Amino acid sequence: MSHAKIPLAGVIGCPIAHSKSPQLHRHWLKSLGISGYYVPMHVEAIDLEEILHSLPKAGFVGVNITVPHKERALEIADLVTDRATLIGAANTLIFRKDGKIHADNTDGYGFIQNLRQNAPDWHPEAGPAAILGAGGAARAVVASLLDVGVPEILISNRTRVRAEALQQEFGRRLTVIDWVQAGNMMDDASTVVNTTSLGMIGSPALRVPLDGLRKGTVVTDLVYAPLKTHLLIEAEKMGCITVDGLGMLLHQAVPAFERWFGTRPTVDSATRAAALR
């Protein structure tokens, strides 16, 4: 007797309980009528490589990778997309039929798609982008903004050397601004992005002066808990176009789901509701 194989996928992190990806993928599987499973997996760093090599044999077609394994997963992979190499981390793995592990990074894609969907008049080439933070998330944001034609990036981080490292790597279109002067970036910016964890539930507030923000500037926050951060509330009061960070999470999952399960899902209000459940 033979059984049709039900494809398995999931997300690997440490910790993993907070991840919204299981609700999201399960919503798509159910609404599209696809048989498949998406499971959260708590994996310690020491076990990562062995587990990644065991999963295909257990019926897994791929996994998402989250904190703290994104850089290590890139090293373990046999094949890597250009955008994952550029970002220096993997958030999506595809287990190929030939046994090879293929790594991609869809964070930058998700970031841009979120802006395109929720600020349809956004023109990346309209003017400089101001970025707060220079950690892992900022790398994906910088790479994707440069890719879509932002003319200049102003970047400010509490630890200045991390912003300088990004400038070294991504080149002359980046200018580093001191953290105490981060508010000055707002005057010129057409796009403003918070990539720090400031403003997240349980983290301190983002205290950068915002009075320089211009009407019509597109302001987005990668923090999505709460959905309306202090930055977005203040920016809205000043006539800016605001986009919350949940859409980035939803859009980054689209290419992975399509590769694993063969159907491209859509991101709409039902998807948002499912991820927030």
Interface with ligand ATR by CB under 6 A: which range of 9-17, 102-110, 195-203, 260-268?
195-203
Whether 103 contacts 155, CB under 8 Å: no
**Smallest gap from residue 191 Cβ to ligand ATR (A):** 18
N- to C-terminal Cα distance for the chain?
A: 39
70 annotated active-site: yes
CA atoms of 95 and 233, how far apart (whole Å): 42
* 77 among annotated binding-site residues: no
204 belongs to the binding site for ligand ATR (CB under 6 A)? yes
Whether 224 contacts 249, CB under 8 Å: yes
Q: Note if the bond before 204 is cis, omega within 30 degrees.
A: no
Name the active-site residue from 5, 70, 215, 237.
Answer: 70
In the three-class reduction of DSSP (H, G, I as helix; E, B as strand; rest coil), residue 12 is classed as strand
141 belongs to the binding site for ligand ATR (CB under 6 A)? no
Q: Which is nearer to ligand ATR, 12 or 61 (CB)?
A: 12
User: Between the CA atoms of 102, 50, 10 and 135, what dihedral angle is there, to the nearest 10 degrees?
Assistant: -70
183 belongs to the binding site for ligand ATR (CB under 6 A)? no
Q: Which is nearer to ligand ATR, 158 or 214 (CB)?
A: 158
Among 11, 73, 115, 137, binds ligand ATR (CB under 6 A): 137
83 belongs to the binding site for ligand ATR (CB under 6 A)? no
Which residues 6+ apart lie within 8 Å of 154 measured at CB? Answer: 128, 129, 130, 131, 174, 175, 177, 185, 188, 189
Interface with ligand ATR by CB under 6 A: which range of 1-9, 111-119, 153-161, 211-219?
153-161
Backbone φ and ψ for 5, nearest 5 degrees, come out as -75, 130
**Smallest gap from residue 266 Cβ to ligand ATR (A):** 27
Q: Catalytic site residues?
A: 70
Q: Which residues bind ligand ATR (CB under 6 A)?
A: 133-138, 157-159, 162, 195-198, 204
